[in-house]
Structure 1
């Protein structure tokens, strides 16, 4: 029971980190679009890269918080993010994911999983003797 509670709070911390970083980056991009002559179409690759970095950081945060099974915690972070985005799109815009969006979200989940693995391995002290 304690392990699932720890996993839940770790995943929640990761998803909160993801959305906070996305809100901050969205604010920065909106300032760039408002006060420069940059077009929205020219930021497509940059926003995709920022999303991947954000999911990696969210997985890293959740893995560091959970301290074990980083692949599972990172995957759950990515899956919860995907579920929230899917529900927002389905309930708000009445549309399902396209094939391209499904591919992106599978890659987001894998990226969050890698962040979770790295988060566990970097934040957990080494107990191995040489």
Structure 2
């Protein structure tokens, strides 16, 4: 009898294409987590009659948690250079946020706020990547 060999394709986790796909998927997952978080927060705002002054800090917290989560997912999927893949995931998250904001909000100003958002995305994504690579 002949033994049957499974024709499996080995995935090279160190390839640029694999890393790029991991970062893309993680950043999109972070955007989805953000949208779900915003939706839950909107329902809580409506039901609890909270003041509008609470919106900016809660939105920022939701974004930070989402970016860190995306960075951790990217790092766990690739298992190497977690800080770098997390930082790239955070930066790509900001690019997605700008694109979504431009589509639904009309325009987006390229100013110091954008620079601080990009820096926040990179730093928080790197921290999420560091955490994600060390979770086993």
Q: Does 1:5 align with 2:17?
A: yes
Identify the match of residue 112 of structure 2 among 89, 99, 109: 99
Identify the match of residue 40 of structure 1 among 52, 72, 81: 52
Distance (Å, rounded) in 2 between the aligned partners of 1:88 and 1:31: 21
1:78, 1:113 within 8 Å by CA — same for their partners in 2? yes
Q: Does 1:16 align with 2:28?
A: yes
Structure 1 unmatched ranges of 5 or more: 124-130
The alignment's TM-score, normalised by the length of structure 2, stands at 0.78
Query: What's 1:109 paired with?
Result: 122
Distance (Å, rounded) in 2 between the aligned partners of 1:116 and 1:18: 13
Larger Cα-atom Rg: 2
1:78, 1:108 within 8 Å by CA — same for their partners in 2? yes
2:75, 2:129 within 8 Å by CA — same for their partners in 1? yes
Cα distance, 1:90 vs structure 2 = 4.2
Distance (Å, rounded) in 2 between the aligned partners of 1:95 and 1:46: 21
Cα distance, 1:91 vs structure 2 = 5.3
Structure 2 unmatched ranges of 5 or more: 1-10
Distance (Å, rounded) in 1 between the aligned partners of 2:21 and 2:71: 13
Distance (Å, rounded) in 1 between the aligned partners of 2:49 and 2:95: 35
* 2:135 aligned counterpart, secondary structure: helix
| Structure (1/2) with the larger helix percentage | 1
Aligned positions, number:
123
